[in-house]
Structures are given as C-alpha cells and as structure tokens.
Amino acid sequence: FFIVSQQYMTYNHNGVTRDYIFYQPSGLNAGAPLVFVTHGYSSSAQNIMNYSGFNLLALQNQFAVCYPQGTKDNWNNNFWNVGYLFTSGSNIDDVDFLISLAQELQSNYNLSNENTFLTGMSNGAELSYLIACEAPGIFKAYASVAGTIFPNGLPNNSCNGIPSPIFEIHGENDNVTLF
C-alpha cells in the first residue's frame, strides 16, 4: 500500500500564470530523470495524470514527472499552441513555457538536465514534435501518442531540428488525427 501525492503548482511564464502538477517519489536521488506528460486538446493535466499511470511508473522507476496545463482557447478548451488554424490568433509560447519549466524543475529539485523527456497525447504529442523541431537538445527523447506535426506551426513550415529519438504510437482507427 502506498499513497501517491502530487503537488498542484503554478509558474509565471511571460506574465501568464500557468498551472502544472508535479510528482516526485519520496527519497528520489539527486540527478534523477524528469518526464513531462502533456495532455490532449480539451483535456487537462489532471486527466492525463489519471489516465497515463505515470505516477506509478515514476515511483517504480525513480523519476520525477510533470504534467503541465495548456491554456484556454476561444471556446474555453485547454490546448497547446502548435499551429492549429483555429488558434492562429494565440500568442502563447508553449515551447518556451515547457523549456523554462523544465529548467526550473531541474534546478529546484536537483533533477537531471541530461535525462529530461517529453511525451504527450494528441495535441500534447503535437507539442512534442514542435519542441523537437524548435528546441532540439532540451529534451533527450520524445514519445508521441496519436499526434502529428503541423507544418504551419513551425517557422518557415519546416523542421530544422537535430535528429532526436522519437517513439511514435498511433492507431489506424484514430479518426481525429489520421495515421
């Protein structure tokens, strides 16, 4: 029997207060890995934490996990700003938000800046691809679940990132983001 406890926290990024959930198993060694898990469109940090089971994985494998929260679009849905046409008016910089938050957590909790990883579901997976293209080297590897890359979200519509390890999971029955 164990109790999973996580902290509900805020981080001010570019004048915007952003929410995230942070879980660190007790007794975690200095320099432990850090994994970011990003939610899909209209979902939340709480939902992806409950759905993914990463707190148990973190406990079993001794790493910290962060579930950042996207911002609200015009329809009050949580989203990551990855280049959707219907959110083209957004000036939220989610790439810099995750980079800044990763550096903050690495510093504050003595976590590894070499072994920081990013995974996401759907819109969160699309954020993984965007960060791999725009800020290679910040995260060591990426895992995309049911996501794609949106060229119109990239500068000059191209990915100029350095080669990065990417694990892609996608199903043929996905009728939202096509395989």
pTM: 0.91
The two structure tokens encoding residue 102? 């990763």
Q: What is the mean pLDDT of residues 142-162?
A: 72
Amino acid at 83: G
Q: Where does the pLDDT of residue 10 fall: very low under 50, low under 70, confident under 90, or very high at 90 and above?
A: very high
> How high is the mean pLDDT of the chain?
89
The per-residue pLDDT for range 75-102, each reduced to its tens digit, is: 999 999 998 888 888 899 999 999 999 9
Q: Where does the pLDDT of residue 138 fall: very low under 50, low under 70, confident under 90, or very high at 90 and above?
A: confident
User: What is the model's pLDDT at position 178?
Assistant: 62
The phi and psi torsions of 99 (rounded to 5 degrees) equal: -65, -50
Element (DSSP H or E) covering residue 121: strand 111-121
User: What is the model's pLDDT at position 1?
Assistant: 43
The runs of H, that is alpha helices, within the chain are 45-52, 54-61, 94-108, 123-134
